[in-house]
């Protein structure tokens, strides 16, 4: 058995492999969709799935409800991503990537038109609600892009340079460049194969993790000045007014929760960002936890989801009231986890 098939067998059982084959083989026109506010794993897995399907002679439509950031335009096929208006009613199969619940597909998925079409869910969130007709959910994988390396192997699709750039993007962004607690030997092995196939870690890092706008940095500055730490939880709110003041656009200032999580005085970090989504004001809540702590449960309790060390939810209401309510829940979860009353899921999931 080769090294690559060993890792694949660990995360893709023979039963699942044959179920995936049976789902994909007869389909020709396939809608692929990932989550709203798409990140590197959403965009990388969407474009990667597109390349895998094209290698198999299929016709994929790649759709995102929200416009992907131009930072990712170096990934081959980026310009073929369509918005909601580019989605038809009729497909042989829908493949949903990196989304833990159906609402995460946004307006791309219209139940009235699409609910009769087979839905294949490929995801790595421990909070996934198994909403597909077939669900391949593997929380042991650090990114959906890692899962797609095993899928490509299973379906006999070559790791072409196009595919490698797409998949390494998600693997690098979801692991913060191979630094998160779930970065194990299999992640490194997948990254090695994608690098051998023509993708470059340094180029992806320069385009994504190491690239910020001046307005985004100024937003961090104004927000950090008001960050609060209490009961080992650190948090900050980002209002629309603060964004406007520094000229920050949608997407500027991403990643602040990760920075807050580096505080020695805290185990859990949160940001609360006011956003306008489909004309309505919402608050995007972003959580991070240090190893041994788990924020996925709180996210799930508020209708969101994620992983033990990184999770989130989207709520409607006034920024201050929401942050107060959610911070209290995070502090309570922290207290329970610190006193050993609740075994953090993360210990098992990322051990």
Q: Which residue is nearest to Mn ion (CB)?
A: 41
- Exactly one of 58, 104, 114, 193 binds ligand 5GP (CB under 6 A); that residue is 104
User: Hey, what are 303's tokens?
Assistant: 């209708």
**Cα R_g (the chain), whole angstroms:** 20
Minimum distance of ligand 5GP from residue 129's CB (angstroms)? 9
241: CB partners within 8 A, 6+ apart: none
Residues that bind Mn ion (CB under 5 A): 41, 98, 174
CA distance 346 to 351: 7
For ligand 5GP, give the closer residue by CB, 126 or 246.
Answer: 126
Say whether residue 257 binds ligand 5GP (CB under 6 A): yes
Indicate which of Mn ion, ligand 5GP, none lies near residue 64 (CB less than 5 to 8 Å, by partner kind): none
For Mn ion, give the closer residue by CB, 98 or 252.
Answer: 98
Say whether residue 314 binds ligand 5GP (CB under 6 A): yes
CA distance 191 to 139: 18
Say whether residue 310 binds ligand 5GP (CB under 6 A): yes
Give the C-alpha distances (Å, rounded to integers) separating 309 from 243, 256, 265, 290, 346.
Answer: 27, 15, 17, 6, 7
For ligand 5GP, give the closer residue by CB, 24 or 248.
Answer: 248
E-only strand ranges, the chain = 29-33, 59-63, 93-97, 119-123, 134-137, 228-230, 233-238, 268-277, 280-289, 305-306, 310-315
Residue 82, classed as helix, strand or coil, is strand
How many other CB atoms sit within 10 Å of the CB of residue 251? Answer: 15
Q: Return the range that interacts with ligand 5GP (CB under 6 A); candidates 24-32, 164-172, 303-311, 318-326.
A: 303-311
Say whether residue 313 binds ligand 5GP (CB under 6 A): yes
For ligand 5GP, give the closer residue by CB, 102 or 292.
Answer: 102
Q: Return the range that interacts with ligand 5GP (CB under 6 A); candidates 47-55, 70-78, 197-205, 304-312.
A: 304-312
Say whether residue 100 binds ligand 5GP (CB under 6 A): yes
Minimum distance of Mn ion from residue 51's CB (angstroms)? 18
User: Hey, what are 322's tokens?
Assistant: 């929401």
Say whether residue 306 binds ligand 5GP (CB under 6 A): yes
**Quick one: which H or E segment has residue 243?**
helix 240-246
Say whether residue 129 binds ligand 5GP (CB under 6 A): no
Indicate which of ligand 5GP, Mn ion, none lies near residue 58 (CB less than 5 to 8 Å, by partner kind): none
First to last CA, the chain: 25
Instruction: Provide the binding-site residues for ligand 5GP, judged by CB under 6 A.
Output: 100-101, 104, 125, 257, 286, 304-307, 310-314
């Amino acid at each position: 058995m080769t090294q690559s098939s060993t890792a694949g067998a660990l995360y893709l059982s023979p039963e699942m492999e044959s179920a995936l084959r049976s789902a994909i083989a007869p389909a020709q026109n396939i809608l692929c969709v990932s989550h709203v506010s798409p990140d590197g794993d959403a965009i990388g897995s969407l474009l990667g799935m597109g390349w895998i399907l094209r290698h198999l002679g299929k016709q994929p439509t790649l759709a995102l409800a929200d416009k992907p950031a131009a930072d990712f335009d170096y990934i081959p096929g980026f310009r073929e991503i369509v918005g909601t208006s580019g989605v038809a009613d009729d497909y042989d199969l829908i493949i949903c990537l990196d989304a833990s619940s159906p609402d995460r597909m946004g307006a791309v998925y219209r139940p009235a038109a699409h609910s009769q079409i087979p839905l294949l869910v490929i995801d790595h969130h421990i909070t996934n609600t198994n909403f597909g007709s077939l669900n391949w959910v593997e929380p042991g994988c650090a990114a959906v892009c890692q899962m797609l390396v095993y899928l490509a192997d299973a379906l006999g699709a070559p790791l072409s340079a196009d595919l490698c750039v797409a998949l390494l993007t998600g693997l690098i962004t979801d692991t913060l460049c191979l630094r998160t607690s779930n970065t194990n030997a299999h992640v490194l092995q997948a990254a090695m194969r994608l690098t051998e196939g023509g993708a470059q870690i340094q180029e992806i890092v320069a385009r994504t993790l190491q690239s910020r706008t001046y307005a985004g940095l100024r937003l961090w500055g104004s927000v950090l000045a008001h960050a609060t730490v209490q009961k080992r939880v650190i948090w900050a709110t980002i209002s629309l007014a603060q964004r406007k003041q520094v000229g920050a656009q949608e997407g500027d200032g991403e990643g602040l929760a990760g920075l807050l999580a580096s505080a020695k005085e805290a185990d859990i970090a949160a940001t609360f960002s006011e956003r306008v989504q489909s004309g309505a004001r919402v608050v995007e809540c972003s959580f991070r936890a240090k190893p041994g702590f788990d924020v996925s449960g709180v996210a799930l309790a508020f209708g969101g989801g994620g992983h033990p060390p990184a999770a989130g939810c989207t709520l409607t209401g006034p920024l201050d009231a929401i942050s107060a309510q959610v911070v209290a829940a995070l502090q309570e979860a922290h207290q329970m986890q610190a006193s050993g009353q609740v075994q953090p899921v993360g210990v098992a999931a990322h051990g």
